[in-house]
Amino acid sequence: MIVNRHVSSDQPDEHDELEQHLTQNLNAPLDWPEDGLSVGHVAAIAVAAACDTAYSQAANGHLIDLFAALPLPGTTEGKSFWERIRDAGGSAAWNIHPANMGGPFFERVHDGNEGGIAYRVLSFLEELTPSQRTDVAEAIGSALDNGTIGISGRYGGELWLRDAEMSAWRVGLASRRQFETSQDRERFFEAWRRA
């Protein structure tokens, strides 16, 4: 995984998403445990992080891994590849093209901007026509390393697009959690109990 995962925030007074999740959903105080971590504590933390799709750092990390499987911008292979994506995807491709999305976008994800790349990927995929999506899948699949990934061609490109779409959707869906309170969550469970 290219993205460094941060269990704690870089800012001493701020709590990152996992810390907030653990305090809200596991009722774990921020200074817990006072006597040290046990295997059970570590297991509970791992389960919380792995099972809760709201932890969008994982989905963002996966989006970065997907882009890392493609030819790098600035290389000879990358220039040719990104021209093919632009030709295949038309104006929709500008959402993810390095000339428009390059620079700090991936660094911002690394630094905690949870939605930037995800919303660009979703906009890109939403704007593609069915024939453009097929052409983009062909271009992506032809660039995937069959020896490393085990699949290439249009099917590999389609898998890349579906995976990027679902990862971006998870980031977008998770972003709503920052506005959700424990009362909102309890209201949800109560409504479904009474249904």
- The per-residue pLDDT for 9 is 45
User: Quick one: tokens of 94?
Assistant: 């500008």
What count of other Cβ atoms lies within 10 Å of the Cβ of residue 115? Answer: 17
* Cis peptide upstream of residue 12 (ω within 30 degrees of 0): no
User: Quick one: tokens of 20?
Assistant: 């907030």
- The per-residue pLDDT for 183 is 86
55-87 tens-digit pLDDT: 567 777 888 889 999 999 989 999 999 999 999
* Total number of residues shown for the chain: 195
91-112 tens-digit pLDDT: 999 999 998 876 677 777 666 6
CA pair distance 79, 71, nearest whole angstrom: 8
CA pair distance 25, 19, nearest whole angstrom: 10
Mean pLDDT of 9-15: 56
> For residue 49, what pLDDT band results from cuts at 50, 70 and 90?
low
> For residue 127, what pLDDT band results from cuts at 50, 70 and 90?
very high
User: Quick one: tokens of 98?
Assistant: 């390095």
Q: What percent of the chain has pLDDT over 90?
A: 36
